[in-house]
Amino acid sequence: MHELRKDILLGRWVAVMSESKAPSEYNLLSYKTQEERNCILCPGREYETPPEITSVRMPRSSKWWVRALPSLNPVFQIEGDLGRKGVGIYDKMNSIGANEILIESPEHTVRPEDLGIEQMIRVITLYRERIADLEKDSRFRYILIYKDSGVDAGEIFSHPLSFLMATPMIPKTVKDELDNAKQYFTYKERCIFCDIISEELRAGERVILETKNFVAFCPYAAQFPFESWIIPKRHCCAFNEITYEEIEDMGLILMSVLKKLRIIFRDPPFNYYIHTAPNMIPRRDHWHTLGEDFHWHLEIMPRLIRTSGFEWGSGFYILPTSPENAAKYLREVG
Ligand SMILES: [Zn+2]
Ligand SMILES: [Zn+2]
Ligand SMILES: [Zn+2]
């Protein structure tokens, strides 16, 4: 089994694979994604994939709209116990968790922003259902849904899909957000995200798009140029409490922001991920203010620049385009 190790200095976890790659196995230059003719995620090759976890089928047909599968190369495995251990001064545990592939369309070449609203509703509903299902397992502390689009964004399959990762700990990036939101709430008794929403709507200059239920904006101190957040106006800490009306609205605003990025940058590589509340079942008492202090959101990171030693060494990011100008470009297209 793979192993999870904790960085004693920074408190972040890493997964160490049980079979180590040799230096010659790293393809530094010629990393390619799977091509359409070799794609086992396309319809007709279902027997070649691991048995599906769930799917949504077309009425009176064996054809599917969306499918969830276990990952082909899982980092985490679902069976077993956590086996927390100390090794000298260090901490480790078994790589217990879940990795799933959420296939977003039977069509190999469709872009997420071109799925159409009905299909997008199925996709977001699948996200919600997979999170709700995995949260029943109290070994899992966090469930992350993310998308890699383009080779430079870590894409492995060119078929439209997202990934799900259920982990036995809260990832450090999320933990930092939760801790800071909690601290802000303790001090001001207000949700930091609700405050950000009202400030962004008041200032207006970083807003890309606003709908009845959501606002899309470039964060004031973004990490990357054209970084865009989509956040529900209704205060809610958990993505899986999204309503049907909000799902539709989220689908529209997400497709619209992705389309704008595509028009400006002609198909840029990007990642997006949903930051939602951790699984509250295992430690209910610890999270008693979570319902008030955290607010789920989706972050889109276009991969327009390469990070250098400056960013790696300092955690300090340079924005060649200001969030105000990025929002202006995004508002003006599409
Ligand atoms: Zn395919
Ligand atoms: Zn809020
Ligand atoms: Zn976040």
Per-residue pLDDT, 62: 87
Distance between Cα 292 and ligand 2 center (Å): 7
Per-residue confidence band for 144, with pLDDT thresholds at 50, 70 and 90: very high
Per-residue confidence band for 30, with pLDDT thresholds at 50, 70 and 90: low
Between 287 and 5, the higher pLDDT residue? 5
Whole-angstrom distance, CA of residue 250 vs CA of residue 242: 10
Q: pLDDT tens, 280-333? A: 776 666 667 888 999 999 999 999 998 889 999 998 999 999 999 999 999 999
Per-residue pLDDT, 57: 94
Specify whether the CB–CB gap between 93 and 4 falls below 8 A.
yes
Distance between Cα 296 and ligand 3 center (Å): 8
- What CA–CA distances, in Å, run from 8 to 88, 107, 252, 318? 12, 45, 42, 28
Whole-angstrom distance, CA of residue 64 vs CA of residue 28: 36
Q: Is the pLDDT of residue 49 over 80?
A: yes
pTM of model > 0.75: yes
| Mean per-residue pLDDT over the chain, rounded | 92
Assigned token pair, 257: 């922001």
End-to-end CA distance of the chain: 48
Which bound ligand lies closest to the C-alpha atom of 160?
1
In order, the DSSP letters of 284-297 are TGGGTTHHHH---E
Segment 257-265 shows an average pLDDT of 97
Per-residue pLDDT, 35: 67
Segment 253-278 shows an average pLDDT of 96
Distance between Cα 291 and ligand 2 center (Å): 9
Q: Which residue has the tokens 């009202």?
A: 198
Domains assigned to the chain: 32-332 (3.30.428.10)
Distance between Cα 63 and ligand 1 center (Å): 14
Per-residue pLDDT, 236: 96
Residue 22: DSSP 8-state: P
Per-residue confidence band for 121, with pLDDT thresholds at 50, 70 and 90: very high
Per-residue pLDDT, 160: 96
Distance between Cα 223 and ligand 2 center (Å): 22
* C-beta contacts of 39-44 below 8 A and 24+ residues apart: 39/108, 39/157, 39/158, 39/159, 41/69, 41/101, 41/103, 41/108, 41/157, 41/159, 41/161, 42/106, 42/108, 42/159, 43/106
Q: Which residues surround ligand 3, an ion (CB under 5 A)?
A: 275
